[in-house]
Amino acid sequence: MDLYKLRRFETAMWRRFDRVLMCSDVDAAQARARSPAASVDVVPNCVDTRRYRPSRAPTNGSRLIYLGHMGWWPNEDAVMHFVTDIYPTIKIRLPDVTFLIVGQAPSAEVSALATGDASITVTGAVDDVIPYLHQSAVSVVPLRIASGSRLKILEALAAETAVVSTSTGCEGLNTTHNEHIMICDEPVQFARAVITLIEDPTMRSRLEASGRALVTTQYDWAAVGRRAVDSVRAAIES
């Protein structure tokens, strides 16, 4: 019932405004389908590529990271899914692997992951996620429930940290499998992709460079900001 009310409210609101801005083509398509009279533009999420930059220091070649507000249930589900269904396969092949869970408000269940496994660290809130990205070889995004587009992926790519994501995790981003990131939905495939990137630094470096190039050309704050201003200006002038 609440979902029905929310959808009805959203549709009614879209009709009341001169311009509706969405952060992904997927969300924009849904808005246009539900409210054909609404004027909908896409202004994607973006990242400050001058701040999120590659590090010259060597990374920990066997460290994985998950970034996200752990008080948001899809993030908790993703982490629990990863540790339960994916991480054990990785650990068999890479016994020295470690996993950082970085984000505020971890639940008791998430915090308990570190208690039960010394290779897992749950940081809670941190002042700056960039050092943690620089310390990690692969950012994992095993999201199964979400919408919009993932800032965690843009931040990782900008920092030149390789990414393995589900298709749900990278929904709304113009990422291509095996070009910018690895996209895998099955747990075994996901684990194999992570293992491959850990064991093949050359492949990992290629993805890191192409991912950084994608973000700087399509998801940089300055470029996206200009597009947002142009969209608002067009709405005012029309």
Domain annotation for the chain: domains and CATH numbers: 2-48+219-233 (no CATH), 60-218 (3.40.50.2000)
Of all residues in the chain, the percent with pLDDT exceeding 70 is 93
Polymer length of the chain? 238
- CA 5 – CA 193 distance, rounded (Å): 41
Best CA proximity match to 91, nearest among 68, 56, 117:
117
- CA 202 – CA 192 distance, rounded (Å): 16
Best CA proximity match to 29, nearest among 13, 15, 16, 41:
41
Beta-bridge partners for 22: 42
User: pLDDT digits over 86-104, tens only?
Assistant: 999 999 999 999 999 999 9
pTM of the model: 0.87
Average pLDDT over residues 31-51: 86
pLDDT attached to residue 82: 98
Residues 6+ apart with CB under 8 A from 191: 86, 87, 89, 90
pLDDT attached to residue 97: 97
User: pLDDT digits over 133-190, tens only?
Assistant: 999 999 999 999 975 568 999 999 999 999 999 999 998 899 999 999 999 999 999 9
- CA 212 – CA 50 distance, rounded (Å): 11
Most confident of 69-73, 146-150, 220-224: 69-73
